[in-house]
Structure 1
Amino acid sequence: MEIRQLQTFVQAAQLESFSKTAEMLGYSQSAITVQMRLLETELNTRLFDRMGKRVVLTPQGREFLKSANKILYEVNKASKSMNEDRELTNPLHVGTIESLCTAKFPRILSEFHSLHPRVNLQITVDSPEKLIRMMEHNELDLIYILDTPRWDENWVKVMELAEPVVFVASAASRFAGKERLVLDDILQEPFFLTEKHANYRQALDQQLALRRQSISPVLEISDTEFIIRMLELNQGLSFLPYFAVEQDIYKHRIITLDVKDVHISMYRQIFYHKNKFCTREMEEFIRLADKRS
């Protein structure tokens, strides 16, 4: 039994596909098939059921996956301990959402690249649901999302920070300086909102639905930076995570509205899969993200 066979087995178990495993590991599909057959022969048990193009772990396969993960964890741990002073060079693939990428990632990545210039960083921007699926199929090293608190026994959560979502407008808005507004005061204003699948937009729509109310935005767009620029031109209102507008508020370009009857928070969270060995590159990204939190 070889380490590479265990690595291939774990990858195939996560992706449920020999062809995708071959593509990710740089082997031919036939080489993956041969490796798994040899492993099954050595263990004298069937590890996978072949179901069309999918391969699914048998009960024996699921049990062996636990052992394979433990072995690979100890191997990686030993390798890491021997290379603590080595320059970071392994690639790092992080998944995030658009608003976090725009507001938080430039400073994190700038410092990361300054400290570790040989690391090839790849960023994927998508919805939390898509990023979680990619993480579970080992297509990402870790994810940094904004959502309601998420948990699964197969994930390792290394950050969870509450983030208020606020109504915002231009500093020149007629609402500037007004206190104790209520939702009815602003509902008829033109709104620039993120698309309906954005989780904080969904949370707002749910609160409105409970009141039998709704907002009909003049524009829906995933680009929070574009929304902020429109607000600066005093073109309407929006509802955005505070971190996305913090710098513009500090520069007195836009303001938060004091809407007393709506309180919504989301949580910035970082996860990786429990079967994923946490590399030094992952640890360093997590450290810098926490530093910039």
Structure 2
Amino acid sequence: MNIRNLEAFVYIVYFDNFNKAAEALFLSQPTISARIRSLENEMNTKLFVREGRKSILTDNGKKLFPYAEKMLSYYQEATYKMKQDMYIPDQIRIGCANSISSYLIPEILPELQKKFPLLRVKIVSHHSEEIMNKLVNNEIDFGLIRTITHPKFHTKTILSNPVGLFASPNHNLANKDIPVSLEELSSEDIIFYDHNSTEWLYINRLMKTMNLQLNTIIELDNMESAKRLVKKGMGICFLPQHAVYEEVKNNQLVNIPLKKPLNINTEIAIAYSKDKPVTDIINFCSSFVFHHF
């Protein structure tokens, strides 16, 4: 059984989409489709059915998935063990988008220290564009950023997280028993985080197609500040779900369901130079985020 075919299969399941899986694996869409056809021929069964842009597992696909995931994990672990002599620096400089620094880095670093106990880590936080500039200037070794393309760097998507609408539990929309329409949002005070993001552009375009306009009262570039203002009841805010997990669990924020789902994801990528060898540290961070979030 070809491990690359299994890898394509697992990535499509993770991303619910052939194109996004292809991007994560640095493959063309026809290549990843060919790998799935090869696997389906080998297994003599259909593994996916298409529903719009999503790729849904068949019953046989669901049976295969846990085995494929284990086989891929064993392969990656074996590859990692065989490459223990790969260059491991004594210090690593990681550039992070601000939100990643707040939410993912505290999860990554303890595990990174277990794997590389002598490693010293320097974290630099800034906007994704500035982190890419620091990569260009060799001020950091790799970056965890919003997906940005650059000819000199690999940018591999490692996390695709849904964006939702969140409010204080005391907000009037939080007490409704039915999903909220986009028309209702036009009369609400909106707090907007990261107005340069593709999510912001998508939401604004969507409202304009319906001749609606968001009443944006505050724009911020700091997610913590945005969440605090929402918790104080100053407005509602579109935020990635991974960033509000603790607040939702502790009932400090609530998700407001929409009648028309936005289907927007915040995508996080690991960016590193094409001209330098890929260290075990980069591989570890990439794999950890991909499999644990």
Report the TM-score, using the length of structure 2 for normalisation: 0.62
1:216 maps to: 215
What pairs up with 1:55-204 in 2 under 5 angstroms? 84=84, 89-147=89-147, 150-151=148-149, 154-176=152-174, 177-204=176-203
* 1:191 alignment partner, SS class: strand
Distance 1:132 1:170, change over 3 A: same
* 2:216 alignment partner, SS class: coil
What is the identity percentage for the equivalent residue pairs of Structure 1 and Structure 2?
18
**Letter of the structure 2 residue corresponding to residue 209 of structure 1:** K
Out of 220-229 and 115-124, give the one that drifted further. Answer: 115-124
2:230 maps to: 231
Distance 1:118 1:86, change over 3 A: farther
CA distance in 1, matches of 2:151, 2:87: 33
2:250 maps to: 251
Q: Contact 1:91/1:119 (CA < 8 Å) preserved in 2?
A: yes
Aligned-residue offset at 1:167: 0.9
CA distance in 2, matches of 1:104, 1:83: 26
Distance 1:134 1:87, change over 3 A: closer
CA distance in 1, matches of 2:283, 2:171: 43
1:285 maps to: 285
Q: Alignment RMSD, CA only?
A: 3.0
Unaligned runs of 5+ in 1: 1-79
* 1:277 alignment partner, SS class: coil
2:272 maps to: 272
Distance 1:89 1:273, change over 3 A: closer
Aligned-residue offset at 1:235: 2.6
Q: Contact 2:87/2:279 (CA < 8 Å) preserved in 1?
A: no
* 1:266 alignment partner, SS class: strand
Q: Contact 2:152/2:273 (CA < 8 Å) preserved in 1?
A: yes
**Letter of the structure 1 residue corresponding to residue 163 of structure 2:** V
**Letter of the structure 2 residue corresponding to residue 121 of structure 1:** V
CA distance in 2, matches of 1:90, 1:81: 19
* 1:193 alignment partner, SS class: strand
- Describe the superposition over 1:237-268 as per-residue Cα deviations: whole angstroms up to 9, x where unpaired: 01111111122112222111111333322322
Report the TM-score, using the length of structure 1 for normalisation: 0.62
Aligned residues: 212
CA distance in 2, matches of 1:230, 1:109: 29
Q: Contact 2:164/2:240 (CA < 8 Å) preserved in 1?
A: yes
CA distance in 2, matches of 1:216, 1:181: 16
CA distance in 2, matches of 1:87, 1:118: 14
- Describe the superposition over 1:24-73 as per-residue Cα deviations: whole angstroms up to 9, x where unpaired: xxxxxxxxxxxxxxxxxxxxxxxxxxxxxxxxxxxxxxxxxxxxxxxxxx
Larger Rg: 1
* 1:109 alignment partner, SS class: helix
1:5 maps to: none
* 2:173 alignment partner, SS class: coil
CA distance in 1, matches of 2:183, 2:82: 62
Aligned-residue offset at 1:198: 3.5
Aligned-residue offset at 1:127: 2.6
Q: Contact 1:92/1:282 (CA < 8 Å) preserved in 2?
A: no
CA distance in 1, matches of 2:264, 2:95: 24
CA distance in 2, matches of 1:89, 1:281: 9
Q: Contact 2:96/2:144 (CA < 8 Å) preserved in 1?
A: yes
CA distance in 2, matches of 1:88, 1:170: 46
* 1:121 alignment partner, SS class: strand
CA distance in 2, matches of 1:191, 1:274: 41
**Letter of the structure 1 residue corresponding to residue 123 of structure 2:** I
CA distance in 2, matches of 1:82, 1:269: 26
Aligned-residue offset at 1:195: 4.0
